[in-house]
Amino acid sequence: MSLYKRHVFVCVNERPEGSPRGCCALEGAREIRARLKQSVKEAGLKDEVRINAAGCLDQCEVGPVIAVYPEGIWYQGVTAADCDEIFEVHIRNGRPVERLQLHQRVPKAKASPAPGPPQTEAAPETPAE
Ligand code: FES
């Protein structure tokens, strides 16, 4: 049994600027969480809906990412402008917002190789006579 009608996890993980994977915090995740919390409060739903800060949800490349349970619906690329729609349509009325849904995991960005001297090919060996 779930203790809440909807339990929302907003990734607010932060990495240093320039990180190959990026992070939700630098893309506005804290504002997203604050707006969703404010909507819950204004609607008088604090006993039914919980908006939690989450650590990295491992979909950083398409963040900010949020996950809504019990449905297990994930959203990607969320902006502060999307919060009212997510709140009204999904959190309040139970219908996922299709245009923002993340349907499958995204591949992780690879770190670039560390800077250093250019690699040279080894000279071919000359056969011994
Ligand atoms: S930093 Fe948000 S999913 Fe990884």
For position 35, what pLDDT does the model report? 98
For position 105, what pLDDT does the model report? 94
Per-residue pLDDT of the chain (129 residues; tens, 9 = 90+): 789 999 999 999 999 999 999 999 999 999 999 999 999 999 999 999 999 999 999 999 999 999 999 999 999 999 999 999 999 999 999 999 999 999 999 988 876 555 555 444 454 555 555
Q: State the alpha helices, DSSP H only, in 43-120.
A: 83-85
Ligand 1 centroid vs 50 CA: distance in angstroms?
Answer: 19
Query: Three-state DSSP class for 88?
Result: helix
- Measuring from each residue's beta carbon to the nearest atom of ligand 1, which residues come in under 6 Å? 11, 13, 23-24, 56-60, 63, 65
Q: Which of 9, 12, 13 to mutate to test the pocket of ligand 1 (most atoms within 8 A of CB)?
A: 13
For position 12, what pLDDT does the model report? 98
Ligand 1 centroid vs 101 CA: distance in angstroms?
Answer: 16
Query: Which CATH number is 73's domain given?
Result: 3.40.30.10
Instruction: Give a yes or no: residue 112 inside a domain.
Output: no
For position 119, what pLDDT does the model report? 47
Task: Report the candidate in 103, 89, 91, 107 with the shortest Cα–Cα distance to residue 33.
Answer: 91
The ligand 1 atom at the shortest distance from the C-alpha of residue 13 is 1
Number of domains observed in the structure of the chain: 1
Domain enclosing residue 28, as ranges: 6-100
Ligand 1 centroid vs 10 CA: distance in angstroms?
Answer: 9
For position 109, what pLDDT does the model report? 81
Instruction: Give a yes or no: residue 24 inside a domain.
Output: yes
